[in-house]
Amino acid sequence: MTPPLASVPFEKLLDVASLRYRKSGITAWQFGRGKLRHDPLYRAVWERPELHRTGTLIDIGCGQGLILALFLAQQTLAPSSIEIPKLVGVETRPGIAQIARLAVSPPVEIISADIRHTPLPRSQTVLIFDVLHMMPAVDQESVLDAALTSLEVGGTLMLREADAAAGWRFRCVALANRLKALTRGYSSRDFHFRSKDEWLTVLERKGIQASAEPMSAGTPFGNVLFVGYKRPLAPGCSDRDEP
């Protein structure tokens, strides 16, 4: 079930959501506010009705939990407007997970674990934003499999990734990620990028009927948002038979 969207202006939501990060210091607050204001992903995803389905929403690689904080801001500004989903964030970096906990927990559950080895609750919506390209191809497959195991049939997957066929815009994404890896002390050698069509093929193989749209308006980056739905299993198949 998808309830109607609340009428709280997005600009007001982002201001209230970003204030939650003051507990972790000025840097976390400025990052959250800047990301919500300038990254086109957040407004675009927030305005999609699929995000607001009841049930459980899992944000894999949630970082500071910005999408999750938007839901809590909505609850603060319009407490009787709609029922928000049960919210779960997954973040493997302990320090970033702690920032998310300080900002949104409770009521949001923040899991600091590798989902390939940690069962997730059944969900109606799974978000994976700017995560998969930062790992080798085999790990991308494993993380997707774990995420989709938790997703109910008919549930929604929203995935943002760089489009490796986007020319100079892709090169901007790749350079930004490699610079981030250098400054934060981890290697970019295992990054694996795919084109938009390659991602659509992967999702189709895993039972996700998806569409793609550009998701980098106002930026130089070649990012794409994939929105897909988990298809029913073919007759006679079990979960273990899914590709």
b/e 45-70 (16+ beta carbons within 10 angstroms → b) = bbeeebbbbeebbbbbbbbbbbbbbb
Question: What kind and span of H or E run contains 212?
Answer: strand 208-214
In this model, does residue 183 exceed pLDDT 80? no
Q: Which CATH class is domain 10-230?
A: alpha beta
pLDDT for residue 57 is more than 70: yes
Residue 148 contacts residue 206 (beta carbons within 8 Å): yes
Segment 64-118, tens digit of pLDDT:
999 999 999 999 998 876 789 999 999 999 999 999 999 999 999 999 989 988 8
pTM of the model: 0.91
* Contact present, 126 and 55 (Cβ < 8 Å): no
H or E stretch at 214: strand 208-214
Under a CB-based contact definition with an 8 Å cutoff, are residues 194 and 129 in contact? no
Residue 108 · residue 68 · CB < 8 Å = yes
Residue 233 reports pLDDT greater than 90: no
Give residue limits of the domains in the chain: 10-230
- What are the φ/ψ torsions at residue 87 (nearest 5 degrees)? -110, 130
Distance between CA atoms of residues 127 and 87, nearest Å: 11
